[in-house]
Every structure is written in structure tokens, then in C-alpha cells.
Amino acid sequence: MADRAAGGSDAAAGAQLFAARRVVVKVGSSSVSGDNADQIPQLVACLARLVEAGVQVILVSSGAIATGVPFLRLDERPEDLATQQAAAAVGQNILVNRYQRALTGHEIIAGQVLLTAHDIENPTHRGNARRALERLLQLGILPIINENDTVATHEIRFGDNDRLAALVARLVSADRLVLLSDVDALYTAPPMMPGARRIARVAYGDPLEGIEIGESQSGWGTGGAATKVQAARLAADAGAAVLLTETRLLAAVLDGEDHGTRFEARSEAGAS
């Protein structure tokens, strides 16, 4: 069952990340675009700490459309597919440039990888993607993955990078997945509701009965708590433990503080 006491999670989540062989980190649009674009150097500093500890890190970053929209002189996310694709084409370039500028200070080089759901489903494409990611990691490159929104169709409207990150974690046999957003943890009800309590730990296979899981509240992102829970279960099934927390709290987690919600992996189910 889920540990629904605020202090009941594994306080060593940061230590476990440092001890991991391979970690996939996913960050949402609202955390790295608009007024929050200044979070990129902070996020990169956390990734660099893991890399310096010998961890292989893959970043799955949303935010291409949200980053590109202001450069198209638009006030809000476009509704038509062609303009979404145009915004993604502009925004992806700017977003990766911002990441690389921050990474350069840590002497880390990024490698851009754009995928669609079809790439993961198609055995040939999936094998190519796996080999490319493995080689990038062998060469000391930090892969930055995003959905290929410029050529995607329904993925732009209904897809989310939480699922993509979980599929990437499965693809490369990562032992940890970190899902970062503007919400600090999973709660027993929407966090703004009276009596909502943080769920510190979710045991493998826990159906989370009685938990009210909401959808996205952001005007930019496509995923809410429901998509994160689904992604966490997908990764946990493949043996990757999952930490769900706020982007701004990742540094504190690495320092040993207890934040977020930890989803136990299948491989840990009989050991805890």
C-alpha cells in the first residue's frame, strides 16, 4: 500500500540516484519555458552532479512548443497543427541551445534525439534509437530527448513526455526514472484541497485506491498527475524505480532531503 504519511518515504532517494548506473530525467514544459526558463541552469547543475558521480544520464525535455511560441509573436499555445509544428521547430532549436550553454560550464556536450511514438513501436526504429543512445552514453554525451513535434500528428495533441520518458527508461534499461514538473509530489487529492496529504512512497502494484488523481492544470503541458502515475507504473514494471517531484527540489533531493513521491520498482517489491 502507499505510504501516505509525509515523512514515510525513502529519505535516501538522492543517494540512490548517485548510486545508479543509468538515470532518465524528464522535465515538463512549465519548468523550462517562459518565466521558468531560468531553471535550466539549476537543472543542468543537478544533472552534472550525477554525471560527475559516474551516472549515465539521459534528459527527456518537453518545452519546444512553449519555447517557440513567443518567437512566433503569439500570446498562447496555438490550436492548429501546422502552427504547433512551426513553434516546435523554432523552440526545439532554442531550447537545446539553452541547455548546451548551461552544460558547457560543466564541460558536458549534449546530443539531441527526437523521437515519435512510431519510433518506439517500430522494431527497426526502436533498435536504431537504442544503439544511438547507447553509443552517445559510451562517448560521454548527455542525450536530450524530445518528441519530434515537427512531424508528429496526434502526439502533439494527446501525447505526453511522461510516457515517452518511461518508454526510454525501458529502452535503455535505466534503473531510475525522475519525473520533474511544477508539482512537488503525488497527493491523496489535488494539493490545493483541504486535507490533501503527500504520498511519500507507492509500493509496487499499489492500485492507489481512494486517491483522486487530476489531469493537467497547465496551459502548456499535456500531462497531469494521471499521466505521471501511468508512466511511473510503466517504468516500475520494467524495473526502474521512479521519483516524482518538483524541478526546483531536485537539488535538495540530491542533498539528501525527503521530497516527492517514490514508486517502487518490480525488482524491489520483495525486498522492502
- Residue numbers in the known binding site are 26, 62, 149, 161, 181-182
CATH value at residue 122: 3.40.1160.10
Inter-helix orientation angle 81-104/40-52, to 10°: 50
pLDDT at 196: 85
Measuring CA to CA, which residue among 13, 124, 103 is closest to residue 57? Answer: 103
Q: Decide if 76 is inside a domain.
A: yes
Q: How far apart are the first and last CA of the chain?
A: 12
User: What totals of helices (H) and strands (E) does the chain contain, helices first?
Assistant: 11, 8
Q: Is residue 112 part of a domain?
A: yes
Q: Look up the pTM and report it.
A: 0.90
pLDDT tier for residue 220 given thresholds of 50, 70 and 90: very low
Higher pLDDT, 125 or 159: 125
The total number of structural domains in the chain stands at 1
The whole-number pLDDT of residue 193 equals: 83
pLDDT digits (tens, 9 = 90+) for 63-120: 999 999 999 999 888 888 899 999 999 999 999 999 999 999 999 999 999 998 788 8
pLDDT, tens digit (0-9, with 9 covering 90-100), for 152-199: 665 444 357 899 999 999 999 999 999 999 889 998 887 788 888 899
Average pLDDT (210-222) is 52
Phi, psi of 47 (to 5 degrees): -60, -40
Query: Is 265 domain-assigned?
Result: no
Contact call for residues 52 and 88 (beta carbons, < 8 A): no
Residues of the domain holding 155: 13-257
- Domain for residue 268, yes or no? no
The pLDDT of residue 212 is 67
Cα–Cα distance for residue pair 23/17, rounded to 1 Å: 7
Residue 116: helix, strand or coil by DSSP? Answer: coil
Domain membership of residue 74 (yes or no) is yes
Annotated binding-site ranges for substrate: 62, 149, 161
Query: What grid cell was written down for 60?
Result: 527527456
Residue 181: C-alpha distances to residues 14, 28, 206, 217, 226 (Å): 17, 5, 22, 12, 13
As a whole number, mean pLDDT of residues 27-33 equals: 94
Amino acid type, 68: G
pLDDT of residue 62: 93
Q: Which residues are known binding-site members for ATP?
A: 26, 181-182
The total number of residues shown for the chain amounts to 272
pLDDT for residue 209: 76
Output the CA–CA distances (angstroms, integers) from residue 187 to 82, 107, 162, in the order listed: 37, 38, 18
Residue 203 in domain: yes
In angstroms, the CA 268 to CA 162 distance is: 22
One-letter amino acid of 97: N
In a domain, 264, yes or no: no
